């Protein structure tokens, strides 16, 4: 075999090895890319599972009867997911018997930017005894529907409709609950009574001092009689 043939053979082998190395490298890159895609998919699934585990937001506008006969209107996020860009739409104005339009409050008209999980915003509506005749006169015996629209933190939109209907408590026999204000007033009355009792005790004559003085005078008188 002459040198020319050997050189050609060596060149061919070198080319084959070079192509094989490139093919192996390309195969490894494809395999690595597929592994990265699988890892990324798993991360997406985990993120989605975490989001679902936290829960989607659910914002409602509810009528709260925890202080009957007083009635409150409460915006609640009753889930574990935060809500943003919250807007409200009322089928009729929410109005109290004194003419205050609750649905014209700023956070109802302009909406809320954010409401945390289990967060709420409360506003007093009216006294039940005044509210029912007023709503009946307005023809709202079926209640007022509030449609709430909002988004979760990922930007997905939701909508919830809720009905405010105080007539469900008409002719009801309810127990008026004691709130923190009632407790505070009770404490203030107790303090006032204690102060009044203390002032009365201070105004009374001190019988012990007078008794002690009389005893000392009697002893001095006895000593004087003995010395005589």
Reported as a single tens digit per residue, the pLDDT across 90-99 is 999 999 999 9
Backbone angles phi, psi at 83, to 5 degrees: -120, 150
Q: How many distinct structural domains can be found in the chain?
A: 2
| Residue 107 within a domain | yes
Q: How far is 76 from 91, CA to CA, in rounded Å?
A: 19
pLDDT digits (tens, 9 = 90+) for 147-160: 999 999 888 999 99
The pLDDT of 177-196, averaged and rounded, is 68
The average confidence (pLDDT) of the chain is: 80
pLDDT digits (tens, 9 = 90+) for 159-175: 999 999 999 888 765 55
Are residues 106 and 161 located together in one domain of the fold?
yes
**Of 33, 54, 75, which closes a domain?**
54
Domain shared by 79 and 133, yes or no: yes
- Which pTM value belongs to this model? 0.55
Q: Three-class SS string for 183-217?
A: HHHHHHHHHHHHHHHHHHHHHCCCHHHHHHHHHHH
CATH at 64: 2.60.40
Q: Which residues contact 166 (CB under 8 A, 6 or more apart)?
A: 63, 65, 71, 125, 128, 131, 132, 135, 143
**Amino acid 220: pLDDT:** 56
Tell me the mean pLDDT in the region 176-182: 56
For the chain, what percent of residues have pLDDT higher than 70? 73
20 and 73 co-located in one domain: no
In angstroms, the CA 119 to CA 127 distance is: 24
How far apart CA 82 and CA 155 sit, in angstroms, is 11
Q: What is the pLDDT of residue 73?
A: 96
Q: Confidence class of residue 56 from pLDDT cuts 50, 70 and 90?
A: confident
Please tell me whether residues 106 and 126 are part of one structural domain.
Answer: yes
Cross-strand partners of 158: 150
């Amino acid at each position: 075999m002459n040198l020319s043939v050997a050189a050609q053979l060596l060149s061919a082998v070198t080319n084959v090895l070079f192509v094989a190395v490139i093919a192996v490298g390309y195969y490894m890159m494809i395999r690595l890319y597929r592994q990265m895609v699988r890892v990324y998919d798993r991360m997406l699934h985990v993120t989605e599972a975490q989001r679902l585990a936290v829960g989607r937001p659910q914002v409602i506008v509810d009528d709260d009867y925890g202080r009957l006969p007083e009635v409150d209107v409460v915006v609640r996020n009753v889930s574990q997911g935060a809500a943003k860009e919250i807007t409200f739409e009322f089928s009729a104005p929410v109005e109290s018997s004194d003419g205050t339009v609750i649905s014209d409050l700023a956070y109802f008209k302009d909406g809320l930017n954010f409401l945390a999980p289990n967060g709420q915003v409360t506003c007093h509506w009216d006294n039940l005894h005044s509210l029912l005749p007023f709503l009946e006169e307005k023809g709202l015996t079926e209640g007022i529907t509030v449609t709430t629209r909002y988004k979760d933190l990922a930007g997905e939109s939701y909508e919830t409709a809720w009905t405010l209907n105080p007539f469900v408590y008409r002719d009801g026999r309810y127990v008026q609950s004691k709130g923190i204000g009632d407790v505070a007033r009770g404490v203030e009355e107790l303090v006032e009574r204690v102060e009044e009792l203390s002032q009365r005790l201070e105004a009374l004559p001190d019988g012990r001092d007078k008794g002690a003085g009389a005893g000392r005078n009697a002893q001095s008188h006895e000593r004087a009689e003995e010395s005589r």
